[in-house]
Amino acid sequence: MDNSSVGIVKTRTVDFDGDLRLESGRLLAAPITLAYETYGQLNAERSNAILVTHAWTGNAHAAGRHADDDRKAGWWDDMIGPGKVLDTSRYYVICSNVIGSCGGSTGPTSKNPRTGRPYNLSFPVIMVRDMVRAQKCLIDHLGLRTLVTVIGGSMGAMQALEWGVLYPEVVRSVIPIAGTGRTSPMAIALNALARQAIFNDPLWKKGNYRPEHPPADGLALGRAIGHISFLSNASMHLKFGRRFSARDGMFDFFGQFEVERYLEYNGRAFIDRFDTNAFLYLAKALDLYDVAWNFESRQQALERIRCPSLWFAFSSDWLYPPHEAEEVIDILRGLGKPVEYHLIQSDYGHDSFLVEPEKFTHFITGFLQRLGV
């Protein structure tokens, strides 16, 4: 067994009996289920908990393996474990699957308790703020009054920021990575193309597809569109260049470049692990994200944050480019909030926070040490 691994872990679920009032004004009917995993031990004072928040198509399985023969560890396994950045010999680390997803938490694939049938498109539109309110139910269930930090990348960064705004009395710090304070028109446009790819698949059937016959072509194409935005021109040159697939003839009309084959493979692999409607609902939540929602301004929203924040942006990220995080950081600094910011040079685009963690994790270690927990 790897001494730096959390080992074999299990995804657990908890059901909440109360309805959840959403930002839309609708109620998400009880019971509401959240899937989650924990790593490490809670200390006697219950003061060493860290919440990890996942990105768009992530889940609660952030570290370790579910079985000895699992080919892959959790999605942030290089960050979580004994002696790692989120050191489980020191911290009690929690990761929960967001509502609206398909990783065990209540989402469009769940049964509507009022009808006994899957929600499909009758599931209410959710926002990132709704995800965080559901997470607060989990934190309360675990008996935690404070969190050392909330840390996450991409959609996880949005959740971390929302924790600072919604629950300033709970969080001692937040660490948004490769995030934004509000989604740009370009990011919305890319998601719109992904949506149309799915809507135009005849098997989608306005969300009423059979699980055994999902709109695979539409979802694979939608995922490929999204995946392009996670990369960068430089990373594509590094990984693929202009190489033509060795199995195709260059003048075969349907022959493909290696980058084409990669996108096709990635899209096809995705349909085996993610639900189409969940993909759409989470894309909508991303599009709707604005930290100023229901406030008069971003300044008014960010004024609520009391804790230190540690921000990271990546030089080649064109999905949530550095200037979008810097706009939020400038407001926080103008409000006199304690902010630390690092612009990381990387060629790997939005995915840099997953591909090259070694470029920024030492800053996280130092930041957590200065918190004194």
Express each pLDDT in 140-152 by its tens digit. Answer: 999 999 999 999 9
- What are the tokens at 75? 């999605």
Sorted by where each begins, the domain ranges of the chain are 12-183+290-371, 188-283
Phi, psi of 45 (to 5 degrees): -85, -5
Q: Does domain 12-183+290-371 have CATH number 1.25.40.10?
A: no
Phi, psi of 42 (to 5 degrees): -75, 135
Calculate the CA 204 to chain-centre distance: 25
At 14, the amino acid letter reads V
| Dist CA 270 CA 88 (whole Å) | 30
Residue 223 annotated as lining a ligand binding site: yes
Residues marked active site are found at 154, 317, 350
Residue 370 annotated as lining a ligand binding site: no
Instruction: Say which CATH architecture domain 188-283 belongs to.
Output: Orthogonal Bundle (1.10)
Beta bridge pairs of residue 95: 37, 52
- What are the tokens at 277? 């409607």
Q: What is the pLDDT along the chain (373 residues), one digit of tens a residue?
A: 577 899 999 999 999 999 999 999 999 999 999 999 999 999 999 999 999 999 999 999 999 999 999 999 999 999 999 999 999 999 999 999 999 999 999 999 999 999 999 999 999 999 999 999 999 999 999 999 999 999 999 999 999 999 999 999 999 999 999 999 999 999 999 999 999 999 999 999 999 999 899 999 999 999 999 999 999 999 999 999 999 987 777 778 888 999 999 999 999 999 999 999 999 999 999 999 999 999 999 999 999 999 999 999 999 999 999 999 999 999 999 999 999 999 999 999 999 999 999 999 999 999 999 998 7
- Give the position of tokens 């705004």: 165
Beta bridge pairs of residue 182: 290
Give the global pTM.
Answer: 0.96
